[in-house]
Chain A
Amino acid sequence: MTTDTTFATSATDAATGVDTLADRLAEVWVELEERLDRVPVLSRLAAGTVTLHDYQRLLFNLRQQVVDGSPWISRAASNFDIDHFELRTAAIRHAEEEHRDYLMLERDYVAIGGTLAELRAGRKNLGSEALSGYMFHYADQPNPVGLLGAMFIIEGLGAKRAAGWAARFQEVLGLADSQVHFMRYHEQADSEHTGDLEAILTSGIIDDAAADEIVRCAQVVARLYALQLEELDR
């Protein structure tokens, strides 16, 4: 019912030079990339001084949060009412696609010499706690449309950065493809997801209030995701 109005608003924004949702998200993304460049493990990766221990700790830390990915998306799906049926559909599909991802990460961890027992006995780092807590809290709200902003960040990292990280880890540490499954897989899978996301963001079902929520959520998730990478093992 709101569709026509929203579409009209977006079109007007574009015509009048007001920042579109896409522009605003792009700004959040640029800020995130600048912050990522300063994350210690990623700057060591870029410099080629990263160690196998760094890769192992990164997988270990990511795993503790990745296992929560599908649950918060599922929870969000259950909080979309019938007026947001398309978002519910997308969330259900997305949750299903993601809910086995952590197994890939676990196999990578074992393939480089770690054990499943120690990995599964791990706890979230400070950043992961904050990120996961925020996501579940947000997903509990009625019609948590802002989570599209969270997806924009998380899927964006998978689609645009993970494969590059994987390639660089392979180059520096001499790893086989089967030791970087998780990061390589996300290039393709998350590109599909970001394609789906773009379709939703430009479909006209997002009104101004929703756009503000999406941008705010993207800002918070970007900061907390970087915090997760900064706070490895803490």
Chain B
Amino acid sequence: MGSMATAYLTGFGAYLPGDPVDNDGIAARLGGDDPVTERIRRRVLDANGIRQRHYALDEHGEPTELNEQLAVKALQAALDDRGIEASDLRMLACATTMGDVLVPGFASMVHGRLGGGPMQLLSAAGVCASSLAALDAAVSKIRLGDHPRVAVVGSELSSRSLRQRRFDGIRAGMDSHFLRWMLSDGAGAVVVEFQPHPSKPSLRVDWVRQVSLAHEHDVCMRAGMSGDAPSVGDTWQDVDIADAEAAGMFVLRQDVSMLDELADAGLAQFEELVDIGLVDVTKLDHVICHYSTNMFRDLAFDGLRRRIPTLDTDRWFSNLETRGNTGSASIFIALEEAWRTGRFAPGETVLLAVPESGRFSFAFAHLTVVAPPDQPSPSPQQQGAAA
């Protein structure tokens, strides 16, 4: 019968390295300017709808920053937005698909660079949904009253592994091209606290939910093994590094034939949220959904609209086309832009949705916009929704 605190998102930050790169600027960074690759790239770009993205690579394709630097810049932006210092944090939860180094954990490196005082760390591994796994851990510790203030960051620097040198002499089918021309770099962060922002609106976290369906699905997105299942003695850690590279184990791949199944499974998860009452479709005002390509935006949008006929494009937010697909950073980068550009009003609700193809994981978070403590929500109806 213990009482718990409430978790609020009170600061938002994003960092996208370098100038935006349009579709014509990709080849200079990632290579692949032969006619065949060129043709595939155009096809993939047409399908995913991404018009510009950011790479932590200079115009010759050489790295300009570390992943941990992207994370720290997004965190710093979130701390500045909230008006606090790294020394005010008691926990840092970091999500990334691949850190800069194999050991130690990503969060240790981010904390080392960020500074501040002693704090609890979590490195959430996985792919896109690791962002909300990190958020869930932060929110749980806030609710327990263990920490007053936690920062969460999702950060990706995939571009360096998408460059031509990884692909030279390797069989690269659609399973690798699809990701190569879709993924890019960036980081997004939020500050989570047990009290709302004293003078600005905050996002109250109503719940976070993450579900894996790996028990009934094969691997969809992978690196470090040949084929779609690891076998003893045959992962990148078992064979010679040169052999692993020659076998294409260091190329990030996705079985694109499974993506329709992924979309169906994601919609089924959303249906379940409605079914068990976690989402009240009559009171859901905004949806921020992470998806890899516009093809899935249309599938997801239509699927949601079946349950929420009033859902129009105004209530649906994504910045995939201008910020690219930044994996675990995407949901926070989108949330930051939606928040900063004033899309949300006190009393309104927001659903974050992150499907992860890796091996079928789905994460959602439900948020409610709350006015600062001294300015109650405007209408009685909205107050009711926030209560």
Chains A and B belong together in one complex: yes
Interface residues of B in 143-179 (CB under 8 A from A): 143-149
Give the residue name and chain of the B residue nearest to A108 (CB).
B145
Interface residues of B in 1-55 (CB under 8 A from A): 2-6
Within 8 Å CB of B195, what residues of A? 52, 173-174
Within 8 Å CB of A177, what residues of B? 2-4, 145
The answer to whether A112 and B143 touch across the interface, beta carbons within 8 angstroms, is: no
Q: Mark A28-70, 1 if CB is under 8 A from B, else 0.
A: 0000000000000000000000001000000000000000000
Q: Given the complex of chains A and B, what is the CA–CA distance between A225 and B379 in angstroms?
A: 44
Q: Does A17 touch B at the CB level, under 8 Å?
A: no
Least CB distance, A188 to chain B, in whole angstroms: 14
The answer to whether A174 and B146 touch across the interface, beta carbons within 8 angstroms, is: no
Q: Mark A99-136, 1 if CB is under 8 A from B, else 0.
A: 00000000000011100000000000000000000000
Q: Given the complex of chains A and B, what is the CA–CA distance between A111 and B88 in angstroms?
A: 12
Name A178's contact: one of B6, B88, B144 (CB within 8 Å).
B144
The answer to whether B194 and A175 touch across the interface, beta carbons within 8 angstroms, is: yes
Q: A52-B195, A174-B6, A176-B5 are in contact. Are A113 and B149 (CB under 8 A)?
A: yes
The answer to whether B148 and A111 touch across the interface, beta carbons within 8 angstroms, is: yes
Interface residues of A in 199-224 (CB under 8 A from B): none
Q: Given the complex of chains A and B, what is the CA–CA distance between A177 and B195 in angstroms?
A: 15
Within 8 Å CB of B2, what residues of A? 176-177
Least CB distance, A184 to chain B, in whole angstroms: 10
Give the residue name and chain of the B residue nearest to A113 (CB).
B148
Q: Given the complex of chains A and B, what is the CA–CA distance between A113 and B145 in angstroms?
A: 10
Q: A174-B195, A175-B194 are in contact. Are A111 and B147 (CB under 8 A)?
A: yes
Q: Given the complex of chains A and B, what is the CA–CA distance between A76 and B148 in angstroms?
A: 39
Within 8 Å CB of B194, what residues of A? 112, 174-176, 179
The answer to whether A175 and B148 touch across the interface, beta carbons within 8 angstroms, is: no
Q: Given the complex of chains A and B, what is the CA–CA distance between A81 and B345 in angstroms?
A: 71
Give the residue name and chain of the A residue nearest to B1 (CB).
A177
Q: Given the complex of chains A and B, what is the CA–CA distance between A176 and B2 in angstroms?
A: 8
The answer to whether B148 and A176 touch across the interface, beta carbons within 8 angstroms, is: no
Interface residues of B in 190-209 (CB under 8 A from A): 194-195
Interface residues of A in 158-192 (CB under 8 A from B): 170, 173-179
Least CB distance, A137 to chain B, in whole angstroms: 38
Least CB distance, A135 to chain B, in whole angstroms: 32
Within 8 Å CB of A179, what residues of B? 5, 145, 194
The answer to whether B149 and A175 touch across the interface, beta carbons within 8 angstroms, is: no
Q: Given the complex of chains A and B, what is the CA–CA distance between A111 and B150 in angstroms?
A: 12
Q: Given the complex of chains A and B, what is the CA–CA distance between A117 and B5 in angstroms?
A: 24
Q: Given the complex of chains A and B, what is the CA–CA distance between A176 and B7 in angstroms?
A: 11
The answer to whether A111 and B146 touch across the interface, beta carbons within 8 angstroms, is: yes
Within 8 Å CB of A173, what residues of B? 195
Q: Given the complex of chains A and B, what is the CA–CA distance between A179 and B3 in angstroms?
A: 10
Q: Given the complex of chains A and B, what is the CA–CA distance between A138 and B149 in angstroms?
A: 44
Give the residue name and chain of the A residue nearest to B195 (CB).
A52
Least CB distance, A82 to chain B, in whole angstroms: 46
Within 8 Å CB of A112, what residues of B? 148, 194
Give the residue name and chain of the B residue nearest to A52 (CB).
B195
Q: Given the complex of chains A and B, what is the CA–CA distance between A176 and B146 in angstroms?
A: 9
Name B3's contact: one of A52, A111, A113, A170 (CB within 8 Å).
A170
Give the residue name and chain of the B residue nearest to A171 (CB).
B3
Q: A52-B195, A170-B3 are in contact. Are A176 and B147 (CB under 8 A)?
A: no
Within 8 Å CB of A170, what residues of B? 3
Q: Given the complex of chains A and B, what is the CA–CA distance between A178 and B194 in angstroms?
A: 12
The answer to whether A176 and B4 touch across the interface, beta carbons within 8 angstroms, is: yes
Q: Given the complex of chains A and B, what is the CA–CA distance between A58 and B147 in angstroms?
A: 19
Q: Given the complex of chains A and B, what is the CA–CA distance between A201 and B88 in angstroms?
A: 49
Give the residue name and chain of the B residue nearest to A111 (CB).
B145
Q: Given the complex of chains A and B, what is the CA–CA distance between A174 and B386 in angstroms?
A: 14
The answer to whether B145 and A176 touch across the interface, beta carbons within 8 angstroms, is: yes
Within 8 Å CB of A178, what residues of B? 144-146
Least CB distance, B114 to chain A, in whole angstroms: 18
Least CB distance, A81 to chain B, in whole angstroms: 46
Within 8 Å CB of A175, what residues of B? 3, 5, 145, 194
Closest 6 CB pairs of A and B: A176-B145, A113-B148, A178-B145, A176-B5, A179-B145, A177-B2
- 14 A-B residue pairs with Cβ-Cβ distance under 8 Å, sorted by A, are A52-B195, A111-B147, A113-B88, A173-B195, A175-B3, A175-B145, A176-B2, A176-B4, A176-B5, A176-B144, A176-B145, A176-B194, A177-B2, A177-B4
Q: Which residues of A contact B (CB under 8 A)?
A: 52, 111-113, 170, 173-179
Interface contacts beyond A112-B148, A177-B3: sample of 7 additional A-B pairs, CB < 8 Å, sorted by A: A113-B148, A170-B3, A174-B5, A174-B195, A175-B3, A176-B144, A178-B144
